[in-house]
Amino acid sequence: MTQLRPRRSVLYLPGANERALEKAKTIPADGLILDLEDAVAPDMKSAARERVCQAVAAWRDGAYGGREVAIRVNGIGTQWHASDLAAAAKAGPAAVVVPKIGSAADVHAIEKVLETGGAPDTTTIWAMVETPAAMLRAQEIAGASQRLNVLVMGTNDLAKELHAEHVPGRAPLLAGLGLALLAARAEGKAILDGVYNDVQNLAGFEAECGQGQQFGFDGKTLIHPTQVEPCNRVFSPTQQQIEESRAVLDAWESALAEGRGVATVNGRMIENLHVDNARRILAVAEAISKL
């Protein structure tokens, strides 16, 4: 199996805050999103744009270690979008995060600007899906481009558009979460769960991480450094899962060597789907160990 890229924890950072950008070099998040949108006041947009591009240059020189560094631009149709996207293309981050993607046409427009702007092939598109229309077109969006490799849930905006409340368990959002997750898996793309707003409620945050992990999300976007450690822990394979996965593979390989098409582990019959899942878990664990 191809080695997976861990994206357990992806932390938003305000692009205008030089101190936060510097501190992020030591935060053990798998990824960082340098934000030019919500976290930046209108009169600071230009300065923040320059600052995040400088941070990306430092990342390319190794200053951020193995962390994946992305830039979130302002949305299509805003007065800052074109300048943000042109600057991001030139800077060449790991990814450009684009809010409120609603169709394949939006993805194609972003892709064209990145290509004409000289973005390296390694700069991918992370599409934020955060409206009812995006949920209903999620597979169209996920499959729109080979350059697009991650969907990012915008759960705050989705709740607003639905006139829904933020409640434990996220019942009002489950349909949208499920549609986006189905789309990502159907198109072979990664998908990140949305943010948790109450940074003081670590128990509630960890419970939501557990829900996202059980659903099948690859990781979660974060708004505060204190959320990184529990998020990494929840989205990492446990030692028990690793040991069970090794046992599954050993049993399967022994069965094949003996000419048997069936294997059992702890009384449970093993099929190809269990083998594939075991390989995925071990690939994720190996990738995390190399961070």
Mean pLDDT by 10 residues, the chain (291 residues): 79 96 96 96 96 97 96 97 98 98 98 97 98 98 98 98 96 98 98 97 98 98 98 97 95 90 87 92 92 84
Number of Cβ within 10 Å of residue 247's Cβ equals 15
The C-alpha angle with vertex 154 and arms to 179 and 208, in degrees rounded to 5, equals: 80
Question: CB-based contacts of 103: which residues, under 8 Å, 6+ apart?
Answer: 133, 137, 140, 141
CA dist 144 and 150 (Å) reads: 12
CATH class given for the domain over 9-234 = alpha beta
Task: State the pLDDT at residue 74.
Answer: 98
% of the chain beyond a pLDDT of 70: 99
Task: State the pLDDT at residue 93.
Answer: 98
Q: Residue 222: exposed, middle, or buried by beta-carbon count in 10 A (0-12, 13-18, 19+)?
A: buried
Residue span(s) of the chain under CATH 3.20.20.60 come to 9-234
Q: H helices then E strands: how many in the chain?
A: 12, 10
Closest among 61, 62, 79, 54 to 71, alpha carbons compared: 54
Task: State the pLDDT at residue 290.
Answer: 87
Task: State the pLDDT at residue 260.
Answer: 85
What pTM, to 2 d.p., does this model score?
0.94
Task: State the pLDDT at residue 267.
Answer: 86
CA dist 107 and 253 (Å) reads: 43
